[in-house]
Amino acid sequence: MPNANDSSSARLDDPSSRRGSAADSLSAAQLAAVSEILDAYPVADELGRRFQASGFRLALVGGSVRDALLGRLGNDLDFTTDARPEQILALLKPWADAIWDVGIAFGTVGARKKARPTAGGEPRDFQIEITTYRSEAYDRNSRKPEVSYGDSIEEDLVRRDFTVNAMAVALPEVAFIDPHHGLEDLAAKVLRTPGTPEASFSDDPLRMMRAARFSAQLDFEVAPEVVTAMSEMAERIGIVSAERVQAELNKLLLSDHPRQGLLLLVDTGIAERVLPELPALRLERDEHHRHKDVYEHSLTVLEQAIDLEEDGPDLTLRLAALLHDIGKPRTRRFEDGGGVSFHHHELVGAKLTKKRLRELKYSNDLIADVSRLVELHLRFHGYGTGEWTDSAVRRYVRDAGPLLPRLHKLTRSDCTTRNRKKAAALSRAYDGLEQRIAVLQEQEQLDSIRPDLNGEEIMAILGLKPGREVGEAYRFLLEHRLEHGPMGPEAATEALRGWWDARAGQSQDPGQHQDAGRSGDAG
């Protein structure tokens, strides 16, 4: 174990170090992190002493140390130890409030412990993960890592993804361990790998996506040699499971700077293998067929949608913003006179969105919501300067359903024109549409539009039993309601009878048709 005089370690629990005068071995960044680490110290110290008493070593490690150094240590604490998983379980069982072992096959045991911070205040629930020192590598044709356990903290740290995640604090002595100069890279806001990036990405190709994700989350630059390795090894991402790729993509998209990470994925060729529709948006432009840069436009729409979020990051909205124009490459047509068209790209885009999100193993609900938003994102542009009838407004609300608030944000975000006059006009038009929706909403309860007659009433009026005709009558009344607004039971009954009579008159044998409907055998 490194000692306090070693350049890669320093004492953090000595009160004199917190005064600064006797802390020659501590950098300013370390001093700023001391209070964060010590805030979790009751749990960390107790756990460290517990492992030490049983002859094991324990260290706070990885993202927990990085976040402490950045002044944002939360309730999730990651530890590493030389104890094997079954020994970790034995040590945690009498101590933790809850334990889970779903990751035990990979050497990880999870636990929950409630403790009061040293500064007082309310108790905090700490989510703890303890992992045995390990190294893991992928077989070139395998999607799953092969786990082997190590015997030292140094061996464990060298297999970490990036130097800023390869720092540790040994417990209970609280010695800072930084053999790969992660603190320097943290201060420089740069992502490097502890070993060569080629070896790191060969061990786990998902680390290439993690580079993009951390760049987006932390607003860090990725070192040139890391970018080069990502470009040269991009095809290796193909051995990683879709579920793991999706998880990294989600974290990237939900970060503060997703554009930064997405640009890196596209520039290195990784996006071509996990989200090929994104680089496909980089449509070539020439002096004869000028059109908007769809790729840059999509990234801008994503950023503008983020600015409109009200209750934290919204994955559904962000995916829709990023993918809303992915139908354009397939629908692009050069028109006479030098114009370019993308007719029905929203419909094509919705289909492509479903296909891609299914391949990435997203949930059916999220796939349905994102693809629906992509399908609807152009609908507003038929609004013009307010020519829509009330029935058109009702249909807009009906078609959006519970996605309407997101559709509002997506539609507003889709305006990236530099023409201020045009942008202001579009904004005013959408303001007007939202106002009309609000008025109709108050008058007609648009979010729960239903016919003025229910199924039982329809059957009683027309003398029907359950069957296809009842569904057709219900849909007629719904369309009538959308077109004319609420009309009340009497007017609805009159309209229903008129529709039924007209329908029967169009049949070759109206009497037989009505009898079949009343028998309940149809459909």
H or E element, residue 168: strand 168-171
Q: Which two tokens stand for residue 235?
A: 């095809």
Contact 227/247 with Cβ under 8 angstroms? no
Angle 113-37-88 from CA coordinates, rounded to 5°:
40
Q: Which pairs count as long-range contacts for 313-316, CB under 8 Å and 24+ apart, including other chains?
A: 313/253, 313/254, 314/406, 315/250, 315/253, 315/254, 315/366, 316/366, 316/369, 316/370, 316/373, 316/406
- CATH 3.30.460.10 given to domain 1-185: yes
Count of C-beta atoms within a 10 Å radius of residue 155: 14
For the domain with range 189-275, which CATH number is right: 1.10.3720.10, 3.40.50.720, 1.10.110.30, 2.60.40.10?
Answer: 1.10.110.30
Place of tokens 């885009």: 349
Task: Kindly report, residue by residue over 398-435, the tens digit of the pLDDT.
Answer: 889 899 999 999 999 998 887 888 888 888 888 888 88
What are the distances in angstroms from CA 459 to CA 482, 496, 515?
21, 11, 14
Q: Domain residue spans in the chain? A: 1-185, 189-275, 306-448, 455-519
Average of per-residue pLDDT values in the chain: 83
Mean pLDDT within 289-302? 80
How far apart CA 108 and CA 85 sit, in angstroms, is 7
Mean pLDDT within 427-452? 75
Reference 453, options 422, 474, 467, 470; nearest CA is 474
Residue-level pLDDT at 286: 41
Range with lowest mean pLDDT among 50-64, 138-152, 412-426, 508-522: 508-522
User: What band does 6 get if pLDDT is binned at 50, 70 and 90?
Assistant: very low
Reference 398, options 313, 483, 457, 506; nearest CA is 483
The backbone torsions φ and ψ at residue 276, rounded to the nearest 5 degrees and listed phi first, read -60, -20
Residue-level pLDDT at 289: 42
